[in-house]
Amino acid sequence: MRIDERMERPLTQHIRPGETNSLADYQKNGGYEGLKAALKMTPKEVQEVVKKAGLRGRGGAGFPTGLKWSFVPIGDDAPRPKYLIANGDEMEPGTFKDRLLLEGDPHQLIEGMIISAYAIQAEIGYIFLRWAYKKAAQTISKALAEAYEAGLLGKNILGSGFDFDLYLHTSAGRYICGEETALINSLEGKRANPRAKPPFPQTSGLFGKPSIVNNIETLCNVPHILRNGSDWYKSISISEDGGTKIYGVSGKVKNPGLWELPLGVTMREVLEEKAGGMRDGLKFKGLLPGGASTDFLVEEHLEIKLDYKGVEQAGSRLGTGTMIVLDDQTCVVGMVHNLEQFFAQESCGWCTPCRDGLPWTRNILWAIENGQGKMEDLELLESLTQTLSPGNSFCALAPGAMEPLQSALKYFREDFERHIKEKRCPWRS
């Protein structure tokens, strides 16, 4: 099946390269109609619409969004205030999808946050933005001012009696802030260390109050679900999960970029039809399907569906849906060393396996890449992938860092062995 260009692209169809949609532009395209529909429902009814739509988190974990909201206590006796936080930190290497949405159509996020806040009865919201996203900060600030002036934020929104204030928070920027409790600590002005769970943020989050943290792309889906309905949202997917996905490809392909496509297209379709395949003279070797902290997949996997179940069955994770492609003239040892250097640098240092294990991993890979490795180093690396596996560290940073390494040792072991035998990197001139 070829990707049908006529398929709906609700998140990106009105985004114009290099331009930002104003409030007038957004409303001309149906903006804030989803909010009007939501305000005629009860919060629980909004939650049920999102549950039925099959929206799952687009930040990497893929947790069902409506179900996550349902864990927040609602009612007169619920703790107050409650908070909604949009995670716009986007520090995952190879990932740049949220930036497109923030810079191109910021009111889509704002509407999504107002609806989501109404669904959990949150009074206060924060957009937690990566420090380097300067243009996004400007577009969001302007859009927030427009929304307040139009009565879409603040007191008694659209005469509904619902109050919601939304603020932009520009972060110092650390990878660990992708973990929601580390983000919450950072937002409170503390060091960005993950928290022990339970309690979960849905009952005790920001300043000890019920809080929801959702990814930018996740929140941008919400207005379209409320405007067009759950059945419509499920119909634009070719997966058991609802909706579209913004897929990305980086690496030595002919046409790197981002495309909004039905959730469930195959990896081959995105790589060859959209990214144009490999550059002339290069061959495909493998890819990380959802950012740096996912397992490599190879040629035999190109027909899998790019949805949560399909990628998991192939031995990796959909993650952010942004692929990093490895070609046959790029050294996989050097590539993995570069990734482990990043993860070691971004560890918060809170737990020993991550704080000490990641630099150890990085140093071993450096030795192999520079002709100083030994065969027993490969066994040591495999041991470290087990030591730093899920359940052995405080959060998912270290296990995520092990995914590209463990899969590289599985699929490209000969490349590691060749480095050791030849005492050099064969890909260096």
User: Which class in CATH covers the domain with range 244-327?
Assistant: alpha beta
Q: Which residues in the chain are classed under CATH 1.20.1440.230?
A: 332-422
Provide the pairing of β-strand 244-250 with 257-262: antiparallel
The DSSP code sequence of 359-423 is HHHHHHHHHHHTT---HHHHHHHHHHHHHTSTTSSSSSHHHHHHHHHHHHHHH-HHHHHHHHHHT
Q: What is the CATH number of domain 332-422?
A: 1.20.1440.230
- CA separation for the pair 43, 330 (Å, rounded): 51
Show Cβ contacts of residue 234 under 8 Å, excluding neighbours closer than 6 positions: 53, 54, 242, 243
Q: What is the pLDDT along the chain (429 residues), one digit of tens a residue?
A: 455 554 789 999 999 999 999 999 999 999 999 999 999 999 999 999 999 999 999 988 889 999 999 999 998 899 999 999 999 999 999 999 999 999 999 999 999 999 999 999 999 999 999 999 999 999 999 999 999 999 999 999 999 999 999 999 998 878 999 999 999 999 999 999 999 999 999 999 999 999 999 999 999 999 999 999 999 999 999 999 999 999 999 999 999 999 999 999 999 999 999 999 999 999 999 999 999 999 999 999 999 999 999 999 999 999 999 999 999 999 999 999 999 999 999 999 989 999 999 999 999 999 999 999 999 999 999 999 999 999 899 999 999 999 999 999 999 999 999 999 999 999 986
- CA separation for the pair 421, 93 (Å, rounded): 31
Q: Which residues in the chain are classed under CATH 3.10.20.600?
A: 244-327
What's the token pair of residue 5? 């260009």
Q: Which residues in the chain are classed under CATH 3.40.50.11540?
A: 23-235
Q: Which residue has 């690496």 as its token pair?
A: 251
| Cis geometry, peptide bond prior to residue 10 (ω within 30 degrees of 0) | no
Nearest to 236 by CA among 391, 8, 12, 25: 8
Q: Does domain 23-235 have CATH number 3.40.50.11540?
A: yes
- CA separation for the pair 195, 229 (Å, rounded): 36
Q: What distance lies between CA 269 and its chain's CA centroid?
A: 21
- CA separation for the pair 375, 398 (Å, rounded): 24
Question: Tell me, what's the pLDDT at 6?
Answer: 46
Question: Tell me, what's the pLDDT at 238?
Answer: 92
Question: Tell me, what's the pLDDT at 4?
Answer: 55
CA distances from 296 to 60, 215, 283, 325, 326 (A): 16, 24, 16, 9, 9
Question: Tell me, what's the pLDDT at 60?
Answer: 81
Question: Tell me, what's the pLDDT at 159?
Answer: 95
- CA separation for the pair 395, 111 (Å, rounded): 31
